[in-house]
Chains A and B, each alone.
Chain A
Amino acid sequence: DVQMTQSPSTLSAAVGDRVTITCRASQSVNSWVAWYQQKPGKAPKLLIYKASILESGVPSRFSGLGSGTEFTLTISSLQPDDFATYFCLQYNSDSRTFGHGTKVDI
């Protein structure tokens, strides 16, 4: 299986900060990576798919970059609603795998 190594595991930030989260794949997954936001007790929410395509309705402060083995999710100006856990998903094969998650807190 492809391993997705996500960093950092936790990130302390303030409103207005620019934050970047990284996922590294153990082998190339082309651009088949998605990013999600999860809040406690709620369903995860799709932010980005195919590495850089913003899901409809997601604020433009979220962006994704990368291909091959290295991928990033950036929040350009952190808002109060953005304090949550973020994780990546590779779907290059039927054996999809996830990153461990990054908790963004104050």
Chain B
Amino acid sequence: QLQLQESGPGLVKPSETLSLTCGVSGGSISSFTKYYWGWIRQSPGKALEWIGTIYYDGTTYYNPSLKSRVIMSVDMSRNHFSLTLHSVSAPDTAVYFCARLPYGGYIDYWGQGTLVAVSS
């Protein structure tokens, strides 16, 4: 059974960098050649927001509204993928989810989510 688990600091100071990792268990990222991997977030009281997707070969798509601040990467040796969000501010406070996407584009597996607060 595939499982995804987000990890990273729960508190980040304004203007600093948010870094999260999604560990994949129950399979190897490199074997999932028909899948993309993604990050989504949910700020309090708001709808879920798509952050971006990455393929195992490093091909990425980023939400245009976040593109200037986002970097995603895959580390197949550690079987995880990562999210970096630069220059955070209070509106970046959210629960961050990682996910797997069949090539067709929906999400079939989600992590449980991790709350990241931006505060001094």
Contacts and interface: CB of A to CB of B under 8 A. Distances in A.
A93 B111 CA distance: 22
Contact of A42 (B48, B104, B105, B112): B112
Contacts of A89: 48, 106-107
B50 to A, nearest CB: 5
Contact of A91 (B63, B64, B106, B111): B106
Interface string B61-104: 10110000000000000000000000000000000010000001
Interface stretch (A11-19, A67-75, A95-103): A95-103
6 A-B pairs closest in CB distance? A91-B105, A98-B48, A34-B106, A43-B110, A100-B47, A96-B50
Nearest to B48: A98
Contact of B104 (A87, A91, A99, A100): A91
By secondary structure, the A interface counts as: loop
B53 interface: yes
B62 to A, nearest CB: 9
A55 B108 CA distance: 9
B40 to A, nearest CB: 8
Given A32-B105, A87-B48, A95 B63 contact: yes
A99 B47 contact: yes
A96 B108 contact: no
Interface string B1-21: 000100000000000000000
Contact of B112 (A43, A50, A99): A43
A42 B109 CA distance: 12
A89 B47 CA distance: 11
Contacts of A42: 112
Contacts of B63: 95
Contacts of B108: 46, 49, 55
Given A32-B105, A46-B106, A94 B61 contact: yes
Nearest to A4: B47
A95 B106 contact: no
